[in-house]
């Protein structure tokens, strides 16, 4: 009986790890690494933000740390999955349970809540008391590559996973929407760590996109540290006085 239970948990853990590895890491990071580093050309070089270049050792560290993070994320996800199976979550499988308009609204709500959670927790991790303990290893990537998207210290993974646990437990979402959100989140994350500004200046200054983060904003966070803590948007940074853009920074 005990062996059967352990086998079931190990099987579930392996399935979760495989899913997260592909959906949350290999595909999003691989897309942007291929676009800007494998197929590097004059066009992509013109988009490069920093003159400094990453090293092979940087990439090895980013991948190693990310794989360790994925092992931990998979364990947390296994625990959360048990809660879902026992009905202790807000996920719903019947599409008719909520109006169809809730599908895009739940996705947008997740973005807003995640950005708010990320700003608060990210800025907290940059405090003098917690930076070395929680977040300093991620900032070894001064010139990050997309492989750095999950390059966290073990304790930081608890903060990073915390939002998704809260999302699953308290925000009604269809599992397909949740999976799509995880993939989208890591696509944005990979873009932010690509080191290449592919969003035209005119688009960045448009009123519809002015409060969305461009690649440059997060890249400046890696090179300057104490600015641009937001994830998707920069309105919290603007409100709290921590926003820096390329023009103001003189970069």
pLDDT of 72-125, one tens digit each? 999 999 999 999 999 999 999 999 999 999 999 999 999 999 999 999 999 999
pLDDT value of position 207: 72
pLDDT of 170-229, one tens digit each? 999 999 999 999 999 999 999 999 999 988 877 777 776 789 999 999 999 998 889 999
Mean pLDDT of all residues belonging to the chain: 93
pLDDT value of position 245: 87
- pLDDT higher than 70, residue 30: yes
Whole-Å CA distances, 171 to 47, 89, 122, 158, 223:
38, 8, 22, 19, 35
pLDDT value of position 251: 43
209 vs 238 pLDDT, higher one: 238
E-assigned strand segments in 62-165? none
Q: Is the pTM of this model over 0.85?
A: yes
How many residues are given for the chain? 251
- pLDDT higher than 80, residue 40: yes
Mean pLDDT over residues 8-12, rounded?
95
- Residue closest to 173 by CA, chosen among 82, 67, 89: 89
- Domain limits of the chain? 2-249
* Dist. CA 184–CA 150, nearest whole Å: 14
DSSP 137: T
| pLDDT-derived band at 249, boundaries 50, 70, 90 | very low
């Amino acid at each position: 009986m005990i062996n059967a239970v352990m086998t079931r948990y190990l099987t579930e853990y392996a399935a979760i790890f495989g899913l997260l590895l592909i959906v949350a890491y290999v595909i999003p990071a691989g897309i942007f690494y291929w676009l800007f580093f494998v197929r590097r050309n004059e066009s992509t070089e013109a988009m490069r933000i920093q003159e400094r270049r990453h090293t092979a050792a940087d990439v090895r560290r980013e991948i190693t740390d990310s794989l360790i993070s994925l092992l931990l994320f998979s364990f947390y996800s296994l625990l959360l999955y048990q809660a879902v199976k026992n009905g202790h979550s807000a996920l719903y499988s019947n599409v008719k349970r909520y109006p169809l308009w809730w599908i895009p609204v739940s996705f947008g709500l997740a973005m807003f809540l995640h950005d708010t959670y990320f700003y608060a927790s990210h800025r907290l991790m940059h405090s003098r008391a917690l930076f070395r303990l929680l977040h300093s290893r991620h900032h070894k990537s001064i010139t990050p590559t997309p492989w750095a998207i999950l390059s966290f210290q073990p304790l930081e993974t608890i903060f990073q996973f915390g939002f998704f646990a809260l999302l699953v437990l308290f925000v009604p979402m269809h599992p397909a929407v949740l999976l799509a959100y995880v993939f989208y989140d890591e696509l944005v994350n990979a873009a932010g760590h690509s080191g290449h500004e592919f969003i035209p200046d005119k688009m960045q200054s448009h009123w519809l996109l002015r409060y969305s983060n461009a690649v440059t904003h997060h890249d400046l966070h890696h090179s300057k540290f104490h600015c641009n803590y937001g994830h998707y948007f920069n309105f919290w940074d603007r409100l709290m006085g921590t926003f820096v853009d390329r023009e103001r920074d003189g970069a």
